[in-house]
Structure 1
Amino acid sequence: MLYLISAAAGLIGGIAAVLLFGGRRSRRKKEQDRRKIEFSKLVLSAVLLTYFAGFVIGVRVVILDPSQLGVFLAYVGTPAATAIGFYSWKAKAENVVKIKQANPTATEGMPVDLNNIQP
């Protein structure tokens, strides 16, 4: 029962984060002044929020049963490495294009090949 409550709390927290960061503003001036948050950052925030809720549950389980440490470490490492690696690769690809556009004379002759960007 505690796991169901924790899962529901994580889901509610993820939805709250998406609504908090992606909520619409009623005033047009605030919308113009404020920079729009990218959708990938909203998704990453929601995933990380639910991930940390699961992390807290995992710590409690490992405290109660230390034989579950291997499972807990896999839970911690796999999504974190995947999410951080993907986000870094995406940011690098976007920055390559921005640098090329911002410095056309300094990057003259350097092609931007988005298909071969290495992580």
Structure 2
Amino acid sequence: MKKWGFIVGGLLVALLLAGVVSNFASSHPDGLDSSLREGCTFDADDEITGGSCPAQQEREHEIGGPLADYGIAGLDNEFLSTGLSGVLGVLLTFAVAGGAFWLVRRRDPAAENAAGADRADPATTSRG
């Protein structure tokens, strides 16, 4: 039972972080974005105005999707959109990881041996 408490507690913390705290994350570019922007100059609206950098080749998603750009498409409230996107991401990740762990879990060898022994024991099988 302790295991389930730990899993549920971890899921709740992840949901809280994704749903609420993610809205307060830095709006400044991360390390990858920063390195791609080196060599370019930007205006007050953060648009490239000159120079030469890989970020000039940036394009919109061709595929798009309901969770593109850290939000939910069609939801106008940015705070709610980002929070729900994070919550859906956590739940989807939890479901996929939980399913994968369930598929590769170790079976109880004692239970499998007992079931196999019943099938192989000639005294428990009837001949008829």
Normalization by structure 2: what TM-score? 0.33
Higher strand share: 2
Q: TM-score, normalised by structure 1?
A: 0.35
More helix, by proportion: 1
User: Which one has the largest radius of gyration?
Assistant: 2
